[in-house]
A and B are shown apart, each in its own frame.
Chain A
Amino acid sequence: MSTCPPYAPFFGFAGVASSMIFSTVGAAYGTSKAGIGIAGLGSFKPELIMRSLIPVVMSGIIAVYGLVVSVLISGGVKANDYTLAAGFIHLGAGLACGMTGVSAGYAIGLVGDSCVRAFVHESRVFVTMVLVLIFAEVLGLYGLIVALIMNTKALETKC
């Protein structure tokens, strides 16, 4: 049983794919749910649209986190001399970033939708919305930090 089997890149590339796929799922949910609220707000007060697009921008940042981790991990996955341990580490890193991206996007979507609808009636909701959205986005950032730490472990493995 060698430490560098030929099926090891399967796990590495599964990590690359899952980072991008799941963070995009989270960002899509956040964008669409907040977009529904913005469409509702836009029919009453079109001048508030620029401020109410902040949840959509934050969902975009969740997708950027997934993209950065994908690019980072795919720089380390090799076709030859790639240990199985590094494959597992990269899979874990991709899943960490991706699933935290799902949770962050879910939170951003729900909070963005409700706060943008409340913004029509009460303009002081804006500061609350930005604060809660920042807390929701930091969830995705934690996943990215863990993915970065895991990726540095994978650089040290040798056949």
Chain B
Amino acid sequence: MSDQAAVGKVTSQTAQKGVLAKLIIFSLSLGIVPIALYFVTEKYVWDGNSSYAAITAVFAANVVLFAYIIVSLLDDREMMQSAEEKKLQFSNRRKVE
């Protein structure tokens, strides 16, 4: 029972590295990037055509969403690999004992 609990702790610790920083970055970018892009592209890229600027802002918001999905998938894949490695090390240590 104790080695199961230790493996659980190892898994939870590997999950927490840098997760908070990533979440803060994504929250801020979801709030700031679309509306900033709206104003910037309306002035400099589309010559005052606000519909195209709105479409650009929506596109940017969806890009942030897909980036978040991809980052969360990669994060979980690398976390599961490192958790399995640590489980292997742990069970090898138990065998030696």
A interface, CB within 8 angstroms of B? 46-51, 53-54, 57-58, 60-61, 64-65, 67-69, 71-72, 75-76, 130, 141, 144, 148, 151-152
Contacts and interface: CB of A to CB of B under 8 A. Distances in A.
A141 B15 contact: no
B61 A65 contact: yes
Most A C-beta atoms less than 10 A away, residue of B23, B35, B57: B57
A49 B76 CA distance: 10
B25 to A, nearest CB: 12
Contact of B72 (A46, A53, A64, A144): A53
Query: Do most interface residues of chain A lie in helix, strand or loop, or is the interface mixed?
Result: helix
Query: Do most interface residues of chain B lie in helix, strand or loop, or is the interface mixed?
Result: helix
Contact of B35 (A50, A68, A76, A141): A68
Contacts of B26: 57
Contacts of A48: 76
A151 B51 contact: yes
A72 B14 CA distance: 44
A66 to B, nearest CB: 11
A50 B72 contact: yes
